[in-house]
Amino acid sequence: MKKMLFLAAVLSSLLFAQSETETCKKCHPQIVDEFEGSMHASSTYYKDPIHKGAWDLHPLKEKGDYNCKECHAPLAKNEDEIKNGVTCASCHTIKDVEEHAAKNKNIYGSDPKTFYSAEAGREKEKVVYKKESSWFGMSTTSVGSPYHNIDYTNEKFYNGQMCMGCHSHRQNAAQLTVCETGKEGVQKKEENCITCHMPIVQGTATTIRQSQDHAYHGFAGTHKNPEMLSKYVDIELNKRSSGFDVVINNKAPHNLMLHPMRVVELRVNLINGSKATSLMSHSFVRALGNENGPSMPWLANQIVTDTMIKANEKKIISYTDALKKGDKVEVQLGYYIVTSKTAEKLNIAEHKELQKFNILKQKSFIVE
Ligand code: HEC
Ligand code: HEC
Ligand code: HEC
Ligand code: HEC
Ligand code: HEC
């Protein structure tokens, strides 16, 4: 009885205009909470200072042509909706992804209330909520959502291809590929963009049909929750007769970092008794530029340097410092979201949190 009244309240409140996430929150509270802190929910100039910095300098701004919207706020119909960025429906109504040279394109389903999703064992189901069935029936049955239909048959929600309309690649006006994720990450159901970046976490997916766990909607990435991804990067140390090698094993099926503003850094400390020495650090970047050197992505026509750790690469960095038995070697692999130099160019120098060194993986080794 309690549940029924709750549903009645939910459904009647749905009749009033409210934002999408407020609606979803009624039945998917934990997923919405996670989502609200994610970069997808903060993907436009309202909530992402880096995006704002880039957009403010971008030549299209003067023309008022915010074509970034195609990926940063695809379903927004007005300025107010641009605030919401990549919304629930901008993913859950992706029917197909069309491939193009400059950038891919999402093809959205024609019914805005039919959501595609994935669930093992239900791959052939289309769950249509029938309005004729009474609320009494609804409170006892656990099939379907009283708010929307669900289509579990879209295989792109099982292998990660639904991420590729926005994430696959993008060329600038000079036809230079500014960023590229590569298709290796969308081949397998067992491991793909979704399984790594939306790992299974505890808590029910809906309040109406209880489940043990759900796919994490805070998204693990460089800004948020990098610790959820650290298991996909490994560090080994190999002692040589004169010196040692640090081996970085990138288990991701794409370059360790994808956005051209990122800089990865390896830091090594050698500790001998009470004496600690910082050895030379190494940076890994894929920097874009033009005849005048490094530049913003939209002004670039060439790759200036590319030392980025590649998909599934084992990168070996050699040190000539001799190791003695009992020495301790501390290794940190981390990254900058933007360097202080880039932050200055983007006029976001006051955002210190975006310029700090973030640790992705650290390990200590005692020399035997
Ligand atoms: C009145 C309650 C209610 C509201 C409001 C609601 N949902 Fe649901 N939703 C459900 C229920 C119940 C299920 C589970 C159906 C099942 O498992 O058979 C579900 C399932 C889903 C699924 C598929 C989950 C899976 O099994 O893979 C998605 C995706 C989804 N909802 C998205 C949304 C979005 C996005 C919104 C907001 C626009 C929303 N829902 C609003 C009740 C609701
Ligand atoms: C509609 C376009 C779109 C789709 C579909 C999409 N993304 Fe994104 N994603 C973006 C945009 C835009 C950003 C950048 C947001 C920002 O930094 O301002 C982003 C950022 C990210 C990040 C970086 C987060 C961080 O903390 O740095 C990850 C990881 C990510 N997406 C994973 C995924 C995965 C996995 C999928 C598929 C399940 C997916 N995305 C689907 C548009 C999309
Ligand atoms: C084809 C889809 C697409 C288009 C169009 C697009 N972006 Fe993006 N953008 C993304 C994705 C996906 C990410 C996340 C990638 C990552 O973090 O590596 C991203 C990330 C970014 C970032 C990094 C944000 C951060 O917080 O680190 C900036 C800045 C950015 N985009 C600016 C723009 C601007 C400005 C435009 C329009 C002129 C634009 N983008 C158009 C897909 C797109
Ligand atoms: C085996 C796990 C794995 C798979 C599969 C995977 N990734 Fe990643 N991804 C990582 C790791 C590890 C990082 C780097 C750590 C971090 O960003 O915190 C990363 C970083 C990212 C970032 C942030 C890059 C940046 O420069 O800010 C985006 C965006 C992203 N992945 C999208 C995707 C997409 C889209 C797919 C599917 C095509 C995918 N990933 C498949 C593990 C994975
Ligand atoms: C960037 C794309 C993206 C966005 C944005 C997104 N989702 Fe999802 N969601 C997915 C994918 C992919 C899955 C399927 C994961 C799986 O179960 O394998 C999923 C699964 C779900 C599920 C089922 C979870 C489970 O594990 O059973 C629900 C419910 C859901 N989403 C609701 C929402 C709601 C509500 C929002 C907005 C607050 C939202 N999603 C935003 C991509 C997205």
Nearest CA to ligand 5 atom 27: 214
What local confidence, expressed as pLDDT, does residue 2 receive?
Answer: 44
Side-chain half-sphere exposure of 87, counting CA atoms within 13 A: 23
CATH 2.60.40.10: which residues of the chain? 228-366
Both tokens of residue 297? 């992505």
Q: Which residue's alpha carbon is nearest to atom 37 within ligand 1?
A: 24
Pocket lined around ligand 1, Cβ cut-off 6 Å: 10, 20, 23-24, 26-28, 88-89, 92, 115, 117-119, 127, 143-148, 150, 205-206, 208-209
- Residue 19's pLDDT band (boundaries 50, 70, 90)? confident
**Distance from Cα 197 to the centre of ligand 4, integer Å:** 7
Residues sharing a CB contact under 8 Å with residue 193, sequence separation 6 or more, in sequence order: 160, 163, 167, 181, 185, 186
Per CATH, domain 228-366 is 2.60.40.10? yes
- Please tell me the predicted confidence (pLDDT) of residue 15: 46
Q: What's the token pair of residue 159?
A: 């292998």
* Distance from Cα 236 to the centre of ligand 3, integer Å: 33
Question: Which ligand places an atom closest to the C-alpha of 147?
Answer: 1
Could you tell which of 148, 154, 156 is best to mutate to test the pocket of ligand 1, judged by most ligand atoms within 8 Å of the CB? Answer: 148
- Tell which residue, 169, 164, 165, 176, has the closest CA to residue 297: 176
Which residues sit with their C-beta closer than 6 Å to ligand 4? 160, 163, 167, 181, 185-186, 191-193, 196-197, 221-222, 226, 229, 232-233, 251-254, 256-259, 262, 360
**pLDDT tens, residue by residue, 225-276:** 999 999 999 999 999 989 999 999 999 999 999 999 999 999 999 999 899 9
Atom 34 in ligand 4: which residue has the minimum CA distance? 193
**Closest ligand by atom to 27 CA:** 1
Counting from 1 in the atom list of ligand 4, the atom nearest the Cα of 251 is 1
Nearest CA to ligand 3 atom 20: 259
In contact, 15 and 9? CB cutoff 8 Å: no
Q: What is the pLDDT of residue 13?
A: 47
Confidence of residue 82 (pLDDT cuts 50, 70, 90): very high
In the predicted model, what is the mean pLDDT of the chain? 92
- Cα dihedral 161/165/171/177 (nearest 10): -20
Predicted confidence at residue 89, as pLDDT, reads: 96
- Rounded CA separation 255/127 (Å): 38
**Which candidate, 177, 147, 152, 176, places its Cα nearest to that of 162?**
152
Q: What is the pLDDT of residue 129?
A: 72
Residues contacting ligand 5 via CB (< 6 Å): 21, 24, 28, 31-32, 35, 40, 86, 88, 91-92, 117-119, 157, 162, 194, 198, 205-206, 214-215, 217
pTM of the model: 0.95
The residue whose C-alpha atom lies closest to atom 14 belonging to ligand 4 is 256
Confidence of residue 215 (pLDDT cuts 50, 70, 90): very high
pLDDT tens, residue by residue, 184-208: 999 999 999 999 999 999 999 999 8
| Position in ligand 4 atom list of the atom nearest CA 191 | 5
